[in-house]
Homo-oligomer: A and B are copies of this chain.
Amino acid sequence: MSTIKDIARVAGVSATTVSNVIRGNTGRVSQEMIQRINHIIDEMHYVPNLSARALVSNASHIIGVINHLVPPEVGGFFQDPFHGALLAGIEQTLRDRGYYMMVRTINNVPELLSLLTNWNLDGLIVTGIFPSDFYLHLKSNSTPFILIDSYVDSENELQVRLADRLGGYKATRHLLEKGHRNILFCGPQIQKQGVLRERYEGYCEALGEYGLAPDPANIYGQEIGIEQSTALGRELARRNDYTAIFATADILAAGIISGLFEAGRKVPEDVSIVGFDDLNIARLTSPPLTSIHQNVVQRGSIAAEMLISVLEKDTGAPRNIVMPVSLVERSSVRAL
């Protein structure tokens, strides 16, 4: 493997000059020399050693992608299709912009801190739900970070949010417009705040517009694992005082459909259902799932882009984006 000194020797200049050419810092280098050096670099297949560069310049060009608390029932981070789509977008953008990506599951604060110091990470993309002490440690560290699905109530914090409330509203409103009145709400435990809370509020708002109030018996705080969601489907097959379901995640919806099917209930003939996320899986259920669409790949991509803007001191770039949602109609909802 050739080093910058090898190139310098062949070109008959100092390493600094080569370094300047490589980094486009060519103010003090003649045109011929630039050509010459670039040619030699190609010839010798020279590639800069980024560990060395990271050491001296204290910037690694590595972005860490960390995650926490993606439920093991969905197979953890990498097997969760939502996070898969997110990663696809993140990776694409980081590659295009010349950054490397280091993905890591973080279980506790020391792991977080060692990740940061170990590699001089330029920045961090934070996915999954993070406990607040993680957030505090991130704040007190100088490494810039952007939050994706862990919301913080601060306009100044870098984050890529989603119009979750509107999504919940649109899903419910759609079912109401199709004539449904008794609509179940299924989603992981609703917290005081966060994604789920917002979707729930959208659900309540839509009901309100039709003069309906949420009935506690219609709220299922269900985890989105496969076992749990199919089990929920079978359980729901035993009730028949409702005609529709709003599931706050496609994988949950898919499980419910499967559970209902096993119990002999048909979608949409017997039960209508609307999902959320519009992941690939929404097109693979039988019937294909009507869902609230969000562009997850793009969301990852935007997160990466925003973080890089901050790293590269583009102060005009937005710090807090709310991505839109839309309803995608397929075949899982029937008009009454």
Contacts and interface: CB of A to CB of B under 8 A. Distances in A.
Interface of A: 1, 45, 47-52, 54-55, 60, 62, 74-81, 84-85, 87-88, 91-92, 95, 100-105, 113-114, 117-120, 226, 230, 251, 254-255, 257-258, 261-262, 280-281, 283-288, 297, 331
Main secondary structure of the interface of A (DSSP, over half): helix
A280 B79 contact: yes
14 contacts: A1-B117, A47-B114, A48-B118, A49-B117, A52-B55, A76-B88, A79-B85, A79-B88, A81-B81, A101-B102, A257-B286, A258-B283, A261-B286, A286-B286
Contacts of A117: 1, 47, 49
Contacts of A95: 104-105
Contacts of A284: 226, 230, 251, 254-255, 258, 281, 285
Given A281-B281, A287-B262, A50 B118 contact: yes
**Copies per assembly:** 2
Contact of A91 (B60, B78, B254): B78
A85 B74 CA distance: 11
A331 B261 CA distance: 11
A113 B288 contact: no
B286 A285 contact: yes
A261 B287 contact: yes
